[in-house]
Chain A
Amino acid sequence: MNWNSAAEFFAMGGYGFYVWGSYLVALVCIVGEIALVKNRQRTSFKQLGLTRHPDGDV
Protein backbone atom coordinates (compact mmCIF):
# COMPACT_ATOMS: atom_id res chain seq x y z
CA MET A 1 0.00 0.00 0.00
CA ASN A 2 1.42 3.37 -1.02
CA TRP A 3 -0.74 5.68 1.06
CA ASN A 4 -1.27 6.08 4.80
CA SER A 5 -4.23 8.45 4.51
CA ALA A 6 -6.65 9.90 2.01
CA ALA A 7 -4.92 13.28 2.32
CA GLU A 8 -1.63 11.70 1.34
CA PHE A 9 -3.31 10.05 -1.62
CA PHE A 10 -4.75 13.34 -2.90
CA ALA A 11 -1.49 15.19 -2.29
CA MET A 12 0.43 12.75 -4.55
CA GLY A 13 3.69 13.66 -2.85
CA GLY A 14 3.23 17.32 -3.76
CA TYR A 15 2.41 16.57 -7.40
CA GLY A 16 -1.36 16.42 -6.86
CA PHE A 17 -2.10 19.30 -9.23
CA TYR A 18 -0.24 17.63 -12.11
CA VAL A 19 -1.41 14.08 -11.51
CA TRP A 20 -5.07 14.90 -10.85
CA GLY A 21 -5.04 17.57 -13.54
CA SER A 22 -4.18 14.85 -16.03
CA TYR A 23 -6.74 12.31 -14.86
CA LEU A 24 -9.55 14.81 -14.34
CA VAL A 25 -9.22 16.18 -17.85
CA ALA A 26 -9.11 12.60 -19.19
CA LEU A 27 -12.36 11.88 -17.36
CA VAL A 28 -13.98 15.05 -18.72
CA CYS A 29 -12.89 14.15 -22.27
CA ILE A 30 -14.28 10.62 -22.02
CA VAL A 31 -17.59 11.65 -20.46
CA GLY A 32 -17.87 14.52 -22.93
CA GLU A 33 -17.18 12.32 -25.93
CA ILE A 34 -19.81 9.79 -24.84
CA ALA A 35 -22.35 12.61 -24.40
CA LEU A 36 -21.56 14.01 -27.85
CA VAL A 37 -21.90 10.61 -29.52
CA LYS A 38 -25.18 9.86 -27.71
CA ASN A 39 -26.46 13.24 -28.82
CA ARG A 40 -25.46 12.54 -32.42
CA GLN A 41 -27.27 9.22 -32.25
CA ARG A 42 -30.41 10.87 -30.89
CA THR A 43 -30.31 13.47 -33.64
CA SER A 44 -30.11 10.75 -36.27
CA PHE A 45 -33.11 8.98 -34.69
CA LYS A 46 -35.07 12.20 -34.72
CA GLN A 47 -34.31 12.73 -38.39
CA LEU A 48 -35.90 9.37 -39.01
CA GLY A 49 -38.88 10.26 -36.85
CA LEU A 50 -37.87 7.79 -34.12
CA THR A 51 -37.66 8.62 -30.44
CA ARG A 52 -35.87 5.44 -29.51
CA HIS A 53 -34.12 2.77 -31.49
CA PRO A 54 -35.77 -0.67 -31.63
CA ASP A 55 -32.49 -2.48 -30.87
CA GLY A 56 -31.44 -0.34 -27.92
CA ASP A 57 -30.48 3.28 -27.29
CA VAL A 58 -26.76 3.03 -27.97
Chain B
Amino acid sequence: MNWFKYAAPSSFYFLAGKMIPIFAVLAAVSFAVGLYVGFFVAPTDHQQGEAYRIIFIHVPAAWLSMFLYLIMAFWAGIGWAFNTRLSSMMATAIAPTGAMFTFLALWSGALWGKPMWGAWWVWDARLTSELILLFLYIGFMSLQAAIDDPRRADKAGALLALVGAINVPIIYFSVKWWNTLHQGASVSLTKAPAMAATMLNGMLIMSLACWMYAIAVILMRVRAIILERERHTAWVGEIKK
Protein backbone atom coordinates (compact mmCIF):
# COMPACT_ATOMS: atom_id res chain seq x y z
CA MET B 1 0.00 0.00 0.00
CA ASN B 2 1.34 3.38 -0.93
CA TRP B 3 0.77 5.58 2.11
CA PHE B 4 2.00 8.71 0.36
CA LYS B 5 -1.05 8.44 -1.84
CA TYR B 6 -3.04 9.75 1.11
CA ALA B 7 -0.79 12.78 1.45
CA ALA B 8 -2.83 14.19 -1.44
CA PRO B 9 -5.92 16.03 -0.17
CA SER B 10 -7.97 14.47 -2.98
CA SER B 11 -7.37 10.87 -1.81
CA PHE B 12 -7.34 11.67 1.90
CA TYR B 13 -10.70 13.38 1.58
CA PHE B 14 -12.44 10.11 0.72
CA LEU B 15 -10.38 8.00 3.14
CA ALA B 16 -11.33 10.39 5.96
CA GLY B 17 -14.98 10.12 4.94
CA LYS B 18 -14.81 6.35 5.45
CA MET B 19 -12.96 6.63 8.77
CA ILE B 20 -15.24 9.19 10.46
CA PRO B 21 -18.18 6.80 11.20
CA ILE B 22 -15.78 4.21 12.65
CA PHE B 23 -14.20 6.67 15.07
CA ALA B 24 -17.58 8.18 15.91
CA VAL B 25 -18.98 4.77 16.91
CA LEU B 26 -15.84 3.94 18.91
CA ALA B 27 -16.15 7.29 20.70
CA ALA B 28 -19.82 6.75 21.58
CA VAL B 29 -19.20 3.23 22.89
CA SER B 30 -16.13 4.15 24.93
CA PHE B 31 -17.83 7.24 26.39
CA ALA B 32 -20.73 5.02 27.51
CA VAL B 33 -18.41 2.40 29.05
CA GLY B 34 -16.10 5.02 30.56
CA LEU B 35 -18.93 6.94 32.22
CA TYR B 36 -20.44 3.71 33.51
CA VAL B 37 -17.13 2.66 35.08
CA GLY B 38 -16.52 6.19 36.38
CA PHE B 39 -19.89 6.62 38.06
CA PHE B 40 -21.04 3.12 38.92
CA VAL B 41 -18.01 0.88 39.27
CA ALA B 42 -15.27 3.12 40.68
CA PRO B 43 -15.63 3.46 44.47
CA THR B 44 -16.03 6.67 46.46
CA ASP B 45 -12.68 8.27 47.26
CA HIS B 46 -11.87 8.12 50.97
CA GLN B 47 -10.44 11.66 50.99
CA GLN B 48 -12.42 13.59 48.41
CA GLY B 49 -15.74 11.74 48.51
CA GLU B 50 -17.67 11.95 45.24
CA ALA B 51 -16.00 15.19 44.10
CA TYR B 52 -13.07 13.21 42.73
CA ARG B 53 -15.32 11.87 39.92
CA ILE B 54 -14.47 15.07 38.04
CA ILE B 55 -11.18 13.28 37.34
CA PHE B 56 -12.82 11.19 34.58
CA ILE B 57 -13.27 14.26 32.43
CA HIS B 58 -10.53 16.49 33.85
CA VAL B 59 -7.52 14.27 33.26
CA PRO B 60 -8.51 13.04 29.76
CA ALA B 61 -9.22 16.64 28.71
CA ALA B 62 -5.87 17.79 30.08
CA TRP B 63 -3.99 14.96 28.37
CA LEU B 64 -5.71 15.63 25.07
CA SER B 65 -5.04 19.36 25.33
CA MET B 66 -1.30 18.65 25.49
CA PHE B 67 -1.15 15.75 23.02
CA LEU B 68 -3.23 17.59 20.44
CA TYR B 69 -0.97 20.62 20.71
CA LEU B 70 2.10 18.49 19.99
CA ILE B 71 0.40 16.79 17.05
CA MET B 72 -0.75 20.18 15.74
CA ALA B 73 2.80 21.56 16.01
CA PHE B 74 4.15 18.41 14.34
CA TRP B 75 1.86 18.69 11.31
CA ALA B 76 2.34 22.44 11.09
CA GLY B 77 6.12 21.87 11.10
CA ILE B 78 5.92 19.13 8.45
CA GLY B 79 3.73 21.34 6.28
CA TRP B 80 6.21 24.19 6.63
CA ALA B 81 9.30 22.06 5.96
CA PHE B 82 8.00 19.98 3.06
CA ASN B 83 5.30 22.25 1.70
CA THR B 84 2.70 19.49 2.00
CA ARG B 85 -0.72 21.08 1.88
CA LEU B 86 -2.58 18.38 3.78
CA SER B 87 -0.20 18.54 6.77
CA SER B 88 -0.92 22.23 7.25
CA MET B 89 -4.66 21.69 6.84
CA MET B 90 -4.42 18.99 9.52
CA ALA B 91 -2.78 21.45 11.92
CA THR B 92 -5.51 23.99 11.24
CA ALA B 93 -8.18 21.34 11.84
CA ILE B 94 -6.69 20.25 15.17
CA ALA B 95 -6.50 23.71 16.79
CA PRO B 96 -10.20 24.25 17.70
CA THR B 97 -10.52 20.76 19.20
CA GLY B 98 -7.32 21.27 21.18
CA ALA B 99 -8.62 24.60 22.44
CA MET B 100 -11.92 22.96 23.41
CA PHE B 101 -10.15 20.30 25.50
CA THR B 102 -7.89 22.93 27.09
CA PHE B 103 -10.96 24.93 28.07
CA LEU B 104 -12.58 21.78 29.50
CA ALA B 105 -9.46 20.96 31.53
CA LEU B 106 -9.46 24.48 32.99
CA TRP B 107 -13.21 24.52 33.58
CA SER B 108 -13.40 21.12 35.26
CA GLY B 109 -10.26 22.03 37.20
CA ALA B 110 -11.92 25.18 38.53
CA LEU B 111 -14.98 23.18 39.56
CA TRP B 112 -12.73 20.68 41.28
CA GLY B 113 -10.49 23.30 42.87
CA LYS B 114 -13.34 25.17 44.52
CA PRO B 115 -14.53 22.35 46.84
CA MET B 116 -11.03 20.90 47.42
CA TRP B 117 -8.77 23.95 47.66
CA GLY B 118 -11.40 26.58 48.40
CA ALA B 119 -10.52 28.54 45.23
CA TRP B 120 -11.75 28.43 41.64
CA TRP B 121 -8.39 29.60 40.43
CA VAL B 122 -4.88 30.11 41.75
CA TRP B 123 -1.94 31.50 39.83
CA ASP B 124 0.23 28.46 40.25
CA ALA B 125 2.56 26.93 37.69
CA ARG B 126 0.30 24.11 36.46
CA LEU B 127 -2.83 26.22 36.07
CA THR B 128 -1.01 29.20 34.57
CA SER B 129 0.88 27.15 32.00
CA GLU B 130 -2.36 25.39 30.98
CA LEU B 131 -4.00 28.82 30.57
CA ILE B 132 -1.07 29.85 28.37
CA LEU B 133 -1.78 26.71 26.29
CA LEU B 134 -5.33 27.97 25.71
CA PHE B 135 -3.91 31.34 24.61
CA LEU B 136 -1.50 29.57 22.25
CA TYR B 137 -4.38 27.71 20.59
CA ILE B 138 -6.42 30.91 20.32
CA GLY B 139 -3.35 32.78 19.05
CA PHE B 140 -2.74 30.11 16.39
CA MET B 141 -6.36 30.27 15.19
CA SER B 142 -6.51 34.09 15.21
CA LEU B 143 -3.19 34.41 13.41
CA GLN B 144 -4.30 32.02 10.68
CA ALA B 145 -7.66 33.74 10.39
CA ALA B 146 -5.98 37.13 10.03
CA ILE B 147 -3.88 36.14 7.00
CA ASP B 148 -5.71 35.88 3.68
CA ASP B 149 -3.23 33.76 1.75
CA PRO B 150 -3.64 30.20 3.16
CA ARG B 151 -0.04 29.17 2.50
CA ARG B 152 1.32 32.23 4.30
CA ALA B 153 -1.16 31.61 7.12
CA ASP B 154 0.16 28.03 7.35
CA LYS B 155 3.75 29.23 7.70
CA ALA B 156 2.98 31.90 10.28
CA GLY B 157 0.89 29.41 12.25
CA ALA B 158 3.67 26.81 12.08
CA LEU B 159 6.17 29.24 13.56
CA LEU B 160 3.82 30.05 16.44
CA ALA B 161 2.90 26.40 17.01
CA LEU B 162 6.52 25.23 17.07
CA VAL B 163 7.74 27.97 19.40
CA GLY B 164 4.73 27.41 21.65
CA ALA B 165 5.46 23.67 21.89
CA ILE B 166 8.01 24.48 24.61
CA ASN B 167 5.02 25.16 26.86
CA VAL B 168 3.87 21.51 26.80
CA PRO B 169 6.78 20.04 28.78
CA ILE B 170 6.49 23.03 31.10
CA ILE B 171 2.86 22.11 31.81
CA TYR B 172 3.72 18.46 32.26
CA PHE B 173 6.65 18.95 34.63
CA SER B 174 5.28 22.05 36.38
CA VAL B 175 4.09 19.98 39.32
CA LYS B 176 7.64 18.71 39.82
CA TRP B 177 9.60 21.86 39.10
CA TRP B 178 7.61 24.26 41.23
CA ASN B 179 5.76 24.15 44.49
CA THR B 180 2.17 23.94 43.46
CA LEU B 181 -1.27 23.35 44.86
CA HIS B 182 -1.98 20.96 42.01
CA GLN B 183 -1.31 17.34 42.85
CA GLY B 184 1.43 15.43 41.06
CA ALA B 185 0.90 12.91 38.29
CA SER B 186 -1.31 10.01 39.40
CA VAL B 187 -0.21 7.94 36.44
CA SER B 188 3.33 7.59 35.16
CA LEU B 189 5.33 5.11 33.14
CA THR B 190 7.83 4.43 35.89
CA LYS B 191 5.63 3.99 38.97
CA ALA B 192 2.54 2.00 39.82
CA PRO B 193 -0.54 4.22 39.52
CA ALA B 194 -1.49 5.92 42.79
CA MET B 195 -5.17 5.02 42.63
CA ALA B 196 -7.60 2.12 42.67
CA ALA B 197 -7.64 -0.05 39.55
CA THR B 198 -11.26 0.73 38.70
CA MET B 199 -10.59 4.48 38.99
CA LEU B 200 -7.61 4.12 36.69
CA ASN B 201 -9.61 2.04 34.22
CA GLY B 202 -12.39 4.63 34.13
CA MET B 203 -9.85 7.34 33.42
CA LEU B 204 -8.13 5.36 30.67
CA ILE B 205 -11.41 4.43 28.96
CA MET B 206 -12.54 8.06 29.10
CA SER B 207 -9.21 9.10 27.61
CA LEU B 208 -9.69 6.59 24.80
CA ALA B 209 -13.18 8.01 24.25
CA CYS B 210 -11.81 11.55 24.04
CA TRP B 211 -9.19 10.39 21.56
CA MET B 212 -11.76 8.70 19.34
CA TYR B 213 -13.99 11.77 19.51
CA ALA B 214 -11.09 14.08 18.72
CA ILE B 215 -10.05 12.01 15.69
CA ALA B 216 -13.62 11.89 14.35
CA VAL B 217 -14.29 15.59 14.73
CA ILE B 218 -10.86 16.62 13.42
CA LEU B 219 -11.36 14.46 10.32
CA MET B 220 -14.75 16.09 9.79
CA ARG B 221 -13.17 19.52 10.07
CA VAL B 222 -10.23 18.71 7.83
CA ARG B 223 -12.67 17.56 5.15
CA ALA B 224 -14.43 20.92 5.29
CA ILE B 225 -11.06 22.69 5.12
CA ILE B 226 -10.00 20.57 2.13
CA LEU B 227 -13.15 21.55 0.25
CA GLU B 228 -12.72 25.21 1.18
CA ARG B 229 -9.14 25.33 -0.02
CA GLU B 230 -9.33 23.02 -3.02
CA ARG B 231 -12.59 24.23 -4.49
CA HIS B 232 -10.91 25.42 -7.68
CA THR B 233 -9.17 22.12 -8.39
CA ALA B 234 -10.16 19.52 -10.94
CA TRP B 235 -10.93 16.74 -8.44
CA VAL B 236 -13.40 18.93 -6.55
CA GLY B 237 -14.93 19.74 -9.91
CA GLU B 238 -15.49 15.99 -10.30
CA ILE B 239 -17.49 15.82 -7.05
CA LYS B 240 -19.87 18.46 -8.37
CA LYS B 241 -20.87 16.30 -11.30
Spell out A's residues near B (CB within 8 Å): 1-3, 9, 12-15, 17-19, 21-23, 25-26, 29-30, 33-34, 36-38, 40-41, 43-45, 47-50, 53-56, 58
Contacts and interface: CB of A to CB of B under 8 A. Distances in A.
B173 interface: no
Contacts, number: 99
Given A14-B49, A55-B14, A58-B21, A44 B58 contact: no
B104 A29 contact: yes
A44 B239 CA distance: 13
A48 B239 contact: yes
A40 B169 CA distance: 33
A17 B217 CA distance: 29
B114 A33 contact: no
Nearest to A12: B50
B194 interface: no
Contacts of A29: 100, 103-104
Nearest to A58: B20
Nearest to B107: A25
28 contacts: A2-B39, A2-B44, A3-B40, A12-B51, A12-B53, A15-B50, A15-B115, A18-B54, A18-B114, A22-B112, A25-B104, A25-B107, A26-B104, A30-B100, A33-B100, A37-B220, A38-B220, A40-B224, A41-B220, A41-B223, A41-B224, A44-B231, A45-B227, A47-B227, A48-B227, A48-B231, A58-B20, A58-B223
A53 to B, nearest CB: 7
B57 A44 contact: no
B5 interface: no
A12 B21 CA distance: 34
Contacts of B61: 26
A40 B224 CA distance: 6
Interface of A is mostly: helix
Q: Tell me the interface secondary structure of chain B in the complex.
A: helix
Contacts of A14: 49-50
A15 B113 CA distance: 12
Contacts of A3: 40
Contacts of A36: 96
A55 B14 CA distance: 8
Interface string B200-241: 000000000000010001001101100110010000100110
Contacts of A54: 239
Contacts of B50: 12-15, 19
A38 B223 CA distance: 11
Given A19-B51, A34-B217, A40-B224, A50 B43 contact: no
B17 interface: yes
Contacts of A21: 111
Contacts of B115: 15, 18
B44 A22 contact: no
